[in-house]
Amino acid sequence: MGFLTSFFAVWFYIATLILIGGVAYKIYTYATTPSPLKIPTMPAPLNSTGVALRLGTEVGLFASLFRSNKWIWLFGIIFHVALLLVILRHIRYFIDPVWTWVVLIQPFGKYAGFAMVVGLLGLLARRIIVERIRYISQPSDYLILILLLIIGASGLMTTFLAHTDVVQFKAFTLGLLTFNWQPLPIDRTLLVHLTAVNLLMMIFPFSKLIHAIGIFFSPTRNQVDNSREKRHLAPWAKAQFESTHPSPSPQTTN
Amino acid sequence: MASNVEFKIPALRPYPEIPALQPDAMQSKGPFVAKPVMQTPLGFPGELVENWQEKAIEKMGELLKKYRSLQVYLDSCVKCGACTDKCHYFIGTQDPKNMPVARQDLLRQVYRRYMTLSGKVVPKWVGAKDLTREVLDDWYNYYHQCSQCRRCSVFCPYGIDTAEISMAAREIMDCIGLGQKYCNEIIGKVYKIGNNLGLPEPALADTLNGLEEDVKLDTGVDVKFPLDQEGVEVLLVTPSADFFAEPHIDGLIGYAKVFHQAGISWTLSSYASEAGNFGMFIGSYDNMRRISQRIRKAALDLKVKRIVFGECGHAWRVAYSFLNTLAGPFDFLDPKYPVPQHICEFTYDLIQRKALRLDKTANDQRRVTFHDSCNVARASRMGTIPGGQFIIPRAVIKASCNHYYDMPADTIHDQTFCCGGGGGLLTDDLIELRIKGALPRMEALKYVIDHHGVTHMAAICAICKSQFTKVLPYYGFEMDKIVSVHQLVSNAIVL
């Protein structure tokens, strides 16, 4: 077993643990932090079906972003849809035999890599060219885009330019899952690809990438508009105000 | 008037476009700071405490545990730029720190530095900064250049609401002894006297008697303006500006005429003689709750069956969205009606039932448009369907006027622009900001004046009305272009 195989195998486990643990911790934090007041951006849905629909259009179609800025929306949706296809396509490296639907999306997933890079380049260009976006950009905003571009470009290269031994690579990934390590094909492009992916997994919970989770917990988007019908008392507010000093009610004041 | 100010009034542009950045255009010391005597009644330290950095970080940590909005919004921004051109203060001032994301970043940079791994390890990479005096000064200045209108939250792909951030920032500053004079002095008046304007009960009674005489002279009808009457049907809670400011008072006369014609008994309360709740502006749950409890007590003491709110934007947000939570349950009121009701809902219901006699031709000399107040449009509702807050006030206006025209679609409904004076900024020490922040609304108004010959803009918010009265002349419009919605009803109603 070569050094690189062991190195990437261990790193992959660590990165995966950080990703899963970090995201789980964030979800726990968001889920257990109360929203003490009703603050949906109005007009808001009157029931939870409506909220599911609202969140669905936000997550699936970027509805608010569409109203906001057509260019950001265009590049954003190209990148995200392409990324989704690419990720789904990569399922094939972790299962055997490959599910039919994963086989069916394979051609789309392969070419979605190009769309992903186009979307990323568009977003990067806006970040550099548009004065307002340049002003709000920090080094990490550029670095995350560049990291994703490296992932996209190196991935495309392994498919279209410098063919990687995918059979051997799949043996490696399946070996990771069964803790029965198999040699990693030594291919520079592939190593760049894996390095970037591991880095991305590791920074995901600690960076703005967590927006993928945050959207589901955003009170302005996930709350039902029913504040006149239902009280919405947070546990801390109840403890602070209503356990020791109950609100005056007709019985106690009259 | 426009000639003796030392800053440039923005020009109305024929085709509004996104302005270029002018860094530090609005760099200043910010509004007047609250004196110790204004801080202590609200439960805040009198002046900046010695260990303010430590206390501020501690408070931020506490708020992050209490408010999911703050936690999610500080984490989730991807700096996509969608919000950067949406704030009226950015459009009017061109100061990049008035772009919603940049305003949020003032707090986010400190959050990252002290509470996130990346900010502790690689602060420069993620724009994390130590909480220095310079940063605090930026907080004070720029969090008092946000009217908490939530227009940015409409356009953010994650619904990040800068109002939540600016409320948290103001709460942190209050808790280290750096409060804003305007808001905190007013909240003190509410506690001490009962309303924002500091109008004591005898003066209020006097004003209402005067109004009865005026209406009698004007119409020959005995329209009552009852105060502290027990056992009536409705408690009306209205902004205290309605008691004497123009055009607010014409709205109050309108409410009284509506009650009179509907034959529904009502009263004002001298104890809760204020609908406004500046506790929201300073992000203080405690103060907002304390102010809200007055309304509950007034309703109980006066043994009313319903609570109706007068024309006030942020008051309606607190009333609609928070009152039940802060001061409920209101199970002692008549369950047939929502608690509380907006005066426009109340009048609209009567119009639907044909219980009001309205002669639209009485307003024929007016061509009217409607300014959706931000807190009504984006933070509350009226009626039973989403968007009722857009439909109902317009329906009330259209039932009272023959000539109605909407401003351009991207400046109304949930895309409405703030008047420029909301969120605790309606103070003369912020007049430059107020004038510049009104630019997008003034441009939309100019559009309907040019295209439809509009003569008046109606509003349902005391702050909007005061702000426009002050700001319209700087843009070359007459100050009385702004009217109350119930002023139009008042003119049209046939008693």
Look at the block and give the residue holding tokens 């000639």: B3
Q: Are B326 and A228 spatial neighbours (Cβ–Cβ below 8 Å)?
A: no
pLDDT tens-digit profile of B265-292? Answer: 999 999 999 999 999 999 999 999 999 9
pLDDT tens-digit profile of B161-216? Answer: 999 999 999 999 999 999 999 999 999 999 999 999 999 999 999 999 999 999 99
Is the CB of B158 less than 8 angstroms away from the CB of A35? no
Evaluated on CA atoms A130, A136, A138, A144, the torsion sign reads negative
Is residue B107 within 8 angstroms of chain A, CB to CB? no
Which residue is closest to B336 within chain A, CA to CA? A229
Look at the block and give the residue holding tokens 């195998």: A9
Q: Are B195 and B270 spatial neighbours (Cβ–Cβ below 8 Å)?
A: no
Contacts of B171 in chain A (CB under 8 A): none
Is residue A232 within 8 angstroms of chain B, CB to CB? yes
Q: Are B374 and B467 spatial neighbours (Cβ–Cβ below 8 Å)?
A: no
E strand or H helix that includes residue A203 = helix A188-203
Instruction: Check: pTM over 0.90? Answer yes or no.
Output: yes
Q: Are A102 and A91 spatial neighbours (Cβ–Cβ below 8 Å)?
A: yes
Q: Residue A213, CB half-sphere, CA atoms under 13 Å: how many?
A: 23
Cα–Cα distances in angstroms (integers) from residue A42 to residues A50, B100, B157, B375, in the given order: 13, 19, 15, 9
CA dist B123 and B109 (Å) reads 9
Is residue B102 within 8 angstroms of chain A, CB to CB? yes
Q: Are B34 and B145 spatial neighbours (Cβ–Cβ below 8 Å)?
A: no
Residue type for position B316: W
pLDDT tens-digit profile of B103-161? Answer: 999 999 999 999 999 999 999 999 999 999 999 999 999 999 999 999 999 999 999 99
- Closest by CA to A90, choosing from A73, A75, A105, is A105
- Closest by CA to B128, choosing from B137, B115, B138, is B115
> Residue B1 pLDDT more than 80?
no
Mean pLDDT, chain A, whole residue set: 94
> Residue A253 pLDDT more than 70?
no
- What would the mean pLDDT of B340-365 be, rounded to a whole number? 98
Is residue B116 within 8 angstroms of chain A, CB to CB? yes
For residues B235-262, one letter each, b for 16 or more C-beta atoms within 10 angstroms of the residue's C-beta and e for the rest, the string is: bbbbbbbbbbbbbbbbbbbbbbbbbbbb
Task: Say what the pLDDT of residue A243 is.
Answer: 77
Contacts of B153 in chain A (CB under 8 A): 41, 220
> Residue A202 pLDDT more than 70?
yes
Contacts of A80 in chain B (CB under 8 A): none
pLDDT tens-digit profile of A166-194? Answer: 999 999 999 999 999 999 999 999 999 99
**3-class state of residue B236 by DSSP:** strand
Is residue A195 within 8 angstroms of chain B, CB to CB? no
Strands ordered across the beta sheet of B306-309? B266-267, B234-237, B306-309, B341-342
- Please, which pLDDT band fits residue B3 given cuts at 50, 70 and 90? very low
Give the largest Cα separation in chain A, rounded: 85
Task: Say what the pLDDT of residue B183 is.
Answer: 98
What domains can be seen in chain A, in order of their start residue?
A: 3-38+62-206 (1.20.950.20)
Who's near B45: CB < 8 A, 6+ residues apart? B39, B175, B176, B177
Neighbour tally for B132: CB within 10 Å: 11
% of chain B at pLDDT higher than 70 = 99
What domains can be seen in chain B, in order of their start residue?
A: 19-186 (1.10.1060), 193-405+454-492 (no CATH)
Which residues in B154-277 belong to E strands, given as ranges?
234-237, 266-267
Facing residue for A64 by CB, picked from B76, B102, B155: B155
> Residue A252 pLDDT more than 80?
no
pLDDT tens-digit profile of A105-140? Answer: 999 999 999 999 999 999 999 999 999 999 999 999
Facing residue for A68 by CB, picked from B65, B155, B340: B155
Contacts of A64 in chain B (CB under 8 A): 82, 154-157, 159
Is the CB of A39 less than 8 angstroms away from the CB of B127? no
Who's near A238: CB < 8 A, 6+ residues apart? none
Angular region, B478: left φ>0, alpha ψ -120 to 50, beta rest: beta
Backbone angles phi, psi at B420, to 5 degrees: 105, -5
Is the CB of A65 less than 8 angstroms away from the CB of B155? yes
Facing residue for A67 by CB, picked from B68, B79, B155: B155
Report angle CA B459, B271, B304 to the nearest 5 degrees: 80
- Please, which pLDDT band fits residue A162 given cuts at 50, 70 and 90? confident
Contacts of B381 in chain A (CB under 8 A): 42-44, 225
Which residue is closest to A203 within chain B, CA to CA? B118
Who's near B192: CB < 8 A, 6+ residues apart? B41, B198
B235: which strand partners? B267, B307
Q: Is the peptide bond before B340 cis (omega within 30 degrees of 0)?
A: yes
Is residue A126 within 8 angstroms of chain B, CB to CB? yes
Nearest CA-CA distance, residue B159 and chain A, Å = 6
Is the CB of A211 less than 8 angstroms away from the CB of B76? yes
Backbone angles phi, psi at B178, to 5 degrees: -115, 85
Q: Are B494 and B408 spatial neighbours (Cβ–Cβ below 8 Å)?
A: no
Which comes out higher in pLDDT, residue B159 or A2?
B159
Is the CB of A227 less than 8 angstroms away from the CB of B389? no
Which residue is closest to B71 within chain A, CA to CA? A30
Task: Say what the pLDDT of residue B350 is.
Answer: 98
Facing residue for B72 by CB, picked from A133, A217, A227: A217
B9-17, Cβ contacts within 8 angstroms, sequence gap of 24 or more: B9/B435, B9/B474, B9/B475, B10/B92, B10/B435, B10/B436, B10/B439, B12/B439, B12/B442, B12/B443, B12/B446, B12/B475, B13/B443, B16/B91, B16/B440, B16/B443
Facing residue for B297 by CB, picked from A43, A65, A248: A248
Backbone angles phi, psi at B78, to 5 degrees: -105, 5
Cα–Cα distances in angstroms (integers) from residue B83 to residues A126, B88, B160, B380, in the given order: 14, 11, 10, 21
Which residue is closest to A233 within chain B, CA to CA? B325
* Residue A225: DSSP 8-state: S
Token digits for A215? 């959207």
Cβ burial, residue B267 (10 Å; 0-12/13-18/19+): buried
Backbone angles phi, psi at B370, to 5 degrees: -130, 130
- Please, which pLDDT band fits residue B2 given cuts at 50, 70 and 90? very low
Mean pLDDT, chain B, whole residue set: 97
E strand or H helix that includes residue B342 = strand B341-342
> Residue A249 pLDDT more than 80?
no
Lowest mean pLDDT among B14-23, B56-65, B145-154: B14-23
Nearest CA-CA distance, residue B320 and chain A, Å = 6
pLDDT tens-digit profile of A7-27? Answer: 999 999 999 999 999 999 999
- Please, which pLDDT band fits residue A244 given cuts at 50, 70 and 90? low
Cα–Cα distances in angstroms (integers) from residue B93 to residues B21, B26, B464, in the given order: 9, 7, 19
Q: Are B234 and B264 spatial neighbours (Cβ–Cβ below 8 Å)?
A: yes
Who's near B285: CB < 8 A, 6+ residues apart? A36, A37, A237, B66, B279
In angstroms, the first-to-last Cα distance of chain A is: 83
Contacts of B332 in chain A (CB under 8 A): 249-250
Token digits for B36? 């110790």
Nearest CA-CA distance, residue B222 and chain A, Å = 33
- What would the mean pLDDT of A181-209 be, rounded to a whole number? 96
Evaluated on CA atoms B286, B290, B295, B296, the torsion sign reads positive
pLDDT tens-digit profile of B284-316? Answer: 999 999 999 999 999 999 999 999 999 999 999
Angular region, B196: left φ>0, alpha ψ -120 to 50, beta rest: alpha
Lowest mean pLDDT among A76-80, A138-142, A241-245, B255-259: A241-245
Backbone angles phi, psi at B423, to 5 degrees: 65, 25
Q: Are B288 and B327 spatial neighbours (Cβ–Cβ below 8 Å)?
A: no
> Residue A157 pLDDT more than 80?
yes
B482: which strand partners? B457
Is residue B485 within 8 angstroms of chain A, CB to CB? no
Q: Are A85 and A108 spatial neighbours (Cβ–Cβ below 8 Å)?
A: yes
Nearest CA-CA distance, residue B84 and chain A, Å = 7
Q: Are A144 and A209 spatial neighbours (Cβ–Cβ below 8 Å)?
A: yes
* Best of B67, B70, B72, B306 to mutate (most A CBs within 10 Å, chain A): B72
Nearest CA-CA distance, residue A138 and chain B, Å = 6
Who's near B227: CB < 8 A, 6+ residues apart? B201, B204, B205, B208, B267, B268, B269, B270
> Residue B85 pLDDT more than 80?
yes
- What would the mean pLDDT of B239-258 be, rounded to a whole number? 96
CA dist A23 and A106 (Å) reads 28
> Residue A251 pLDDT more than 60?
no
Nearest CA-CA distance, residue A223 and chain B, Å = 11
- Please, which pLDDT band fits residue A160 given cuts at 50, 70 and 90? very high
Look at the block and give the residue holding tokens 């508009």: A225
A-B C-beta contacts closer than 8 Å = 227
Task: Say what the pLDDT of residue B5 is.
Answer: 58
